[in-house]
A and B are shown apart, each in its own frame.
Chain A
Amino acid sequence: MSSVTLTNVHKAFGTTRIVKGVDLEVRSGEFLVMVGPSGCGKTTLLRLIAGLESPDLGDILIDGARVTDTPPRDRDVAMVFQSYALYPHMTVRENMAFGLELRKLPRKDIQSRVEEAAAQLELSKLLDRKPKELSGGQRQRVAMGRALVRRPKIFLFDEPLSNLDTALRVQMRGELARLHRKLGATMIYVTHDQVEAMTLASRVAVFNGGKLQQVGAPLELYNAPANHFVATFLGSPSMNFLPAHREGTFLKGPGFQLHCPVDLGDLRDVKVGLRPQDLRIQSDGEFTGTVDAVERLGSDGYAFLTTPAGPLVSRFDRGTQVSVGETVKVCLLSNALHVFSSDGEAAILHPGDARPRVEVVA
C-alpha cells in the first residue's frame, strides 16, 4: 500500500501541452479513478506515474520518495493496458511469469504465484494457450493476471474495460471492485466512462484540458461539482444550465424565476444548474416548455424540452403523461438549486449551502 503525490506536473509533446500543472494526492490503498474526455491528459498522467514518460516540470512521489527520474521497473508499479498488450509469442503462463522472471524470482515462487492468480481469475485451464486463442474477456483477465502476480505497490489501469461488451464490462467491474477490497492495494484507474468512475472509485479525479478540475468521493462530486465542467461530466443526463440574473432573492431568466435561499450579495449574472433528476413535469412549475423528445426508462423517464431560456431536460414519473409537441410545466424540487458563476468556472452555491462558496463581489 502506497501513496502517490504529484506536484505541479507539466508535460508537453512537441508544442502540444497535454498536462498543465497538476497537483494530486493518491492516498494509500484507495481506488482513484481519473476521468475526463479524450485528450484531457489523464492517460498521460497515468503514464507519468508509471514512468513511461517523464514530466517536463514538477515531481512525482511514491510513498514520499521522489521517483521522477526512476525507471518504471524500480517503481514497483504494474499496469494494465487498454489493448492488454499481451505478448503474442508467449503462452498465458509465460505472459504472466515474464515480469517475475525478469525480477529473478525462484522458479517455484513464480509457478505458485502464477497459478494462484490464474485460479483467482479463472484462467487455470488456459495457461498454455497463446493470446490469439483467447476471447476478449479472457485476454483482459490475462492482462489483469499479469499485473496481479507482480504484487506491486500500485496498480495502474488504462481504460481496461473499454474493449469489452456491456455485460462483460459490468461483470469485470464487479471483479475489479472485489479485487480492490481483497488486496487493499492502491489502484489508479483511467476511464472516460463516468459509470465506471462512480461505481468503482473511492475517489474520482476529473480532468479537462490538462488540468485537474476536482477530486473527491463520487457523491461529493455529484452533489457539489466545483464547476460547470464537472457538473456536466458526472450524472446522466447532464445537468441543465440556464443563464439568469439576480433580482433580490430571485434568480430570473427568460420565462422563469427561482427563489434563491441564500443571500448572494451584489452578484448579478449567474448560471443556474438544474439536475434533470431534480426536475419534475407537473401541472404547475417554474418552467414552461415544448416537448421535443421523450425517453421512457420504465419506472420513470426524461423529456427533452425547449423553453424560452434554452433547452431543458426533465425527469417525469411513471404516472405522468408526456407526448411530443405538448407544452408542459416543469417544477424544481426543493433544495436542489446549483448556482455557478456566469462563465461556469466556479460553483457559487450547492443545495444545503448556508453561504456562497466564493467571495461574492460587493
Chain B
Amino acid sequence: MKSRPFWFSALLHAGLSLACAAVLYPVLWVVKLALSPTEGLSLSANPFPEQVTFDHFRAVLLASDSAGRWLFGRQLFASVAVSGATTLVGLSLAVTAAYALSRYRFPGKESGMQALLLTQMFPATLMTVPLYSLLERLHLLGSLGGLVLVYSTASLPFCVWMLKGYFDTVPRELEEAAVMDGASPGQVFWRVVLPLARPALAVTALFSFMTAWNEFILAATLLDDQSSFTLPVALQRFVGEYKTEWGKFAAGALVVSAPVMALFYALQKHLVGGLTAGGVKG
C-alpha cells in the first residue's frame, strides 16, 4: 500500500465526518427532545438541549400501573422474552430449513424457495385481520407464545434465504471430512456447519430480534394484558388521539433503540461477513 498525500486523507476524513454528522444530527435531535423539559418541539436548529432534565426518562423507566406494579420492568421483560424467543424459534426453524434447502434434493424445493421470496412482496397491511382470526382459532390469542410464532414466521423468509445462501458457500468437502472423521449427521451440523455459519447466524439472529423488538401494531392487537405489552406498544401509547407526548416518546424511543444499538455494536464484525455469502474459505 502506498501512502496517500496528506490532503487526500484530510478530504477523506472531512467527508466521513460530514456523513457522520448527517447521521448523528437526527439522533441528537431525538436526544434533545428526550432531555428537554418541555414536551414540545424545539424551535431552533441547534441539536443540543438548552436545558437538561431526566424527567422524561424517569417517567418512561419508572412507569407503573394502578396496582403499583413496575410496568416498564414487566414490559421490558415481555419485550426481551418475546424477542429472545422469536430469535430462538425463528433461528432454529430457519437453520434447519435453510440447511435442508442447501444440501438435500427433495420435491418442491425450488418452488418453496420461490414462494418464500414471494411472501416478501405481499404488503402486510391487510394481514392483521386474517391473522387475528387464525390465532383465535389456534387458541393463541393474547399469549406471548402466539406473538412469538407470528414474529418468527414473519422473519423466516429473510432468514432462510440468508442462511441458505451462506450454507451454499460452506464447502461440502468439510462436511464429508467430518463424516469420514466419524460424525453423525447431527454432529456434522452442530460441530462443523453451524460454527462456520456463525456470521450469518449473527445477522439473522439480529434481524429476527429486531423484527420482534420494534413491532407494535400486532403486539397491541394480539395481546390483552398491560404487563405483557412489549415496549414499542408502551412507546406508542405516548401518541394520543389529540396530542403526542414528544418528550416521553423520544425518551422511550431511545430506551427502545438502545439494546438494538448495543447488539449492532457487539455483532458488527459478524455483520460484515454475514450478510455476504462467501465468507468461508478453506
Are chains A and B touching directly in their complex (CB below 8 angstroms)? Answer: yes
Q: Interface residues, chain A, CB within 8 Å of chain B? A: 50-52, 71-73, 77-79, 81-89, 98-99, 102-103, 131-132, 146, 150
Is A150 a contact of B282 with CB atoms below 8 Å? no
Distance to closest chain B CB from A138 (angstroms): 13
Tell me, in angstroms, the Cα distance from A150 to B181 when the chains sit together.
8
B183 at the A interface (CB under 8 A): yes
Q: Please, how many angstroms separate the alpha-carbon atoms of A89 and B195 in the complex?
A: 7
- Complex Cα spacing A81 to B282, Å: 12
Binds A, one of B88-96, B120-128, B138-146, B169-177: B169-177
CA distance A60 to B65 in the complex (A): 73
Question: Residues of B at under 8 Å CB distance from A?
Answer: 171, 173-174, 176-184, 187, 191-192, 195-196, 198, 280-282
Q: Which residue of B lies closest to A50 (CB)?
A: B180
- Beyond A81-B176, A84-B282, A88-B280, 19 extra complex contacts between A and B, CB < 8 Å: A51-B179, A52-B179, A71-B179, A72-B179, A73-B184, A78-B180, A78-B181, A81-B173, A82-B173, A85-B282, A87-B174, A87-B192, A88-B174, A89-B195, A89-B196, A89-B198, A98-B183, A103-B182, A150-B181
CA distance A64 to B177 in the complex (A): 25
Whether A83 and B282, one on each chain, are in contact in the complex, defined by CB atoms closer than 8 angstroms, is yes
Are A85 and B171 in contact (CB-based, < 8 A)? Answer: yes
CB distance from A241 to the nearest CB of B (A): 39
A88 touches B176 (CB 8 A): no
**Residues in chain B near residue A77, CB distance under 8 A:** 180
Bound-complex Cα distance A82 to B177 (A)? 11
Cα(A132)–Cα(B282), bound, Å: 7
A-B contact pairs, 20 of them (CB 8 A): A52-B176, A71-B179, A73-B182, A77-B180, A79-B176, A79-B180, A81-B177, A82-B173, A85-B171, A85-B176, A88-B282, A89-B195, A89-B196, A98-B178, A98-B191, A99-B180, A99-B181, A102-B181, A132-B281, A150-B181
A19 to B280 CA separation, bound complex (whole angstroms): 32
The 4 closest A-B pairs by CB, nearest first: A99-B181, A73-B182, A85-B177, A85-B173
Q: Which residues of A contact B192 (CB under 8 A)?
A: 87
A-B CB contacts (within 8 Å), total count: 67
Could you tell me the distance in whole angstroms from the C-beta of A310 to the nearest C-beta in chain B?
43
Q: With A83-B171, A85-B282 in contact, is A102–B183 under 8 Å at CB?
A: yes
Chain B residues with Cβ under 8 A from A85's Cβ? 171, 173-174, 176-177, 282
Asked if A73 and B171 sit within 8 Å, CB to CB, the answer is: no
Shortest B280–chain A CB gap in Å is 6
Least CB distance, A47 to chain B, in whole angstroms: 8
Among residues of B, the one whose C-beta sits closest to the C-beta of A82 is: B173
Chain A proximity of B194: nearest CB distance (Å): 10
Which residues of the partner chain A approach B187 to less than 8 Å between Cβ atoms? 102
Contact A88 B196 (CB under 8 A): yes
Q: Which one of B171, B181, B196, B281 lies within 8 Å of A98 (CB-CB)?
A: B181
Q: How far is the CA of A314 from the CA of B173 in the complex (A)?
A: 44
Complex: chain A residue closest to B180, CB-CB: A79
Are the CB atoms of B282 and A99 closer together than 8 Å?
Answer: no
Complex Cα gap A72–B178 (Å):
10
Instruction: Name which of A82, A84, A89 has the most chain B CB atoms within 10 A of its CB.
Output: A89
Rounded to whole angstroms, the CA-CA distance of A132 and B196 in the bound complex is 14
